[in-house]
Chains A and B, each alone.
Chain A
Amino acid sequence: MTNPILATRSLTKIYGQNTVFKDINLEVNEGETIVIIGPSGTGKSTLLRCINLLTSHDGGQIFLDGNEITAKGYDEDGVRQQIGMVFQNFLLFNHLTALDNVMIGLTRVKKLPKEQAREKALNELKRVGLADRADHYPGQLSGGQQQRVAIARALAMDPRVMLFDEPTSALDPELIGEVLGVMAQLAHDRMTMLVVTHEMGFAREVADRIVFMEKGNIVEEGSPDALFYHPKHDRTREFLWKITELYGKKEKEQEKEKGETA
């Protein structure tokens, strides 16, 4: 058994009186795609923010490559360079072109020479299919394109782990596919990924492991098949049933279409 690339031990976050999550133990192995699902307000997003130290935690530890990054005085900026993050609202730098968005971390943080940074940034844009949009500003891009640039920006830093915080929740339905496609390709390339999403189709097809969180606890985790077809807990079954009922119709239609074209 190899050591996990990322691990949390009894991670706890409290806002005032409100416990966001408690005693979270999560292990992510190299090349693994883990999808975290669960109702809104159960601390999934906060968990991601704690993992790359954007939000402080109140208890427990986080390990990256075996090093405790929650140790006092640990180089937080260095940690964030190794953990890429993609946000629900894209959060591109509005005053920079797509290319400069991807480049700025390389030139300012990694201090790469400009030419080298440009080449790498262009390659990352190619990877998400947006090399032809390099000179466009965020205001000139669709939501799906912005999110793909955001993915390229995170990838450019050569992170050990990528965190996705509901990356398609703010997108028009017709733009969701292009972003999920890029993510599926990343998973296929064995990028280590931790994804919070409500896209059950993506979870079922791409995830190596699904973690179901509710009220600040991990209720159940397992392979997609185990969780979708043989959930151990009633709550998991209930949640999945509700979500599948909501999206099931859409998926059935898509499957039917696929069957017809195949």
Chain B
Amino acid sequence: MMSNIFSYIVQGTAITIAVTLIALPFGLLIGLLMALVHTYGGKFLNRVAAGYSLLMRGVPPIVLLFILYFIISGSINLSPFWAGSLSLGIVSSAYQMEILRGALMAVGGAQMTAARAVGMSRLQAIQFIILPQALRLAIPPWSNEASIVLKDSSLVYALGVPEILRRAQQLSATTQQPFLAYGAAALIYFVLVFAVNRGLDYLSTRTKLPTHP
């Protein structure tokens, strides 16, 4: 009985991790594209990106998740797992966009000027000069967003994806031990978030640029 419950929860944890591993990079991809478009695109693209960010961040993630889920699953035949993960990624993309936009601004126009002065095109400058610096700056705030997405992956529970929270609820109902079931879920989330933050802290220290001789 106990080992059954254990493996049941482990499977849920695996799904939670999988949802996060799909949503985060997907959100990063869109967020990065939007941040670049917002910073270096023309007036029109700049407005489009700004509008996207405003809209996405102005609605609760769960509401967006439902809307996106029905749009995505209505147009292409996707499982709730995939549709939910991608939707979560889109929700996160607006927040990741803002993080990256801040980092791009922090690197500043002067580095772009210097790169152009060497003869680089805008694209080369972004690729070789701006992004390597901006991504470094973005790691600490991105670490925060990563833990938010990890925790928000519990929202796909509402779409019927059997991740940690959904399984905890089922366990709570069958065992009549809600405190134990939800406590276990909380503990798992905590450990995962802790590991992600620590890992990214380490990455941030490792990629830090030396300042003193």
Partner-B contacts on A (CB < 8 A): 52, 54, 77-78, 80-81, 84-85, 87, 89, 91-95, 104-105, 108-110, 136-137, 139-140, 153-154, 157
A-B CB contact pairs (8 Å), 25 listed: A77-B116, A77-B119, A78-B119, A80-B118, A87-B113, A89-B110, A91-B114, A93-B133, A94-B133, A94-B209, A95-B129, A95-B136, A104-B129, A105-B120, A108-B120, A108-B124, A109-B119, A110-B119, A136-B213, A139-B210, A139-B212, A140-B211, A140-B212, A140-B213, A154-B117
B132 at the interface (CB under 8 A from A): yes
Which 3 A-B residue pairings sit nearest by Cβ, starting from the closest? A81-B119, A139-B211, A91-B114
Find chain B residues with CB under 8 A from A77 CB.
Answer: 116, 119-121
B115 at the interface (CB under 8 A from A): yes
B170 at the interface (CB under 8 A from A): no
Q: Are B118 and A105 in contact (CB under 8 A)?
A: yes
Chain B residues bordering chain A, tally (CB within 8 A): 22
Q: Are A91 and B119 in contact (CB under 8 A)?
A: no
Q: Are A54 and B113 in contact (CB under 8 A)?
A: yes
Picked from A54, A84, A140, the residue with its CB within 8 Å of the CB of B116 is: A54
Find chain A residues with CB under 8 A from B128 CB.
Answer: 104, 108
Partner-A contacts on B (CB < 8 A): 110-111, 113-121, 124, 128-129, 132-133, 136, 209-213
Find chain B residues with CB under 8 A from A52 CB.
Answer: 117
Find chain B residues with CB under 8 A from A110 CB.
Answer: 119
Find chain A residues with CB under 8 A from B124 CB.
Answer: 108-109
What distance in Å separates the Cβ of A216 from its nearest Cβ neighbour in chain B? 22
Residue of B nearest to A110 (CB): B119
Known pairs A139-B210, A140-B213; A95 contacts B117 (CB<8 A): no
A137 to B132, CA, bound (A): 14
What distance in Å separates the Cβ of B132 from its nearest Cβ neighbour in chain A? 5
Find chain B residues with CB under 8 A from A140 CB.
Answer: 210-213
Known pairs A93-B129, A94-B111, A109-B124; A157 contacts B210 (CB<8 A): no
Known pairs A77-B121, A108-B120; A93 contacts B210 (CB<8 A): no
A104 to B132, CA, bound (A): 13
Find chain B residues with CB under 8 A from A105 CB.
Answer: 118-120
A87 to B212, CA, bound (A): 23
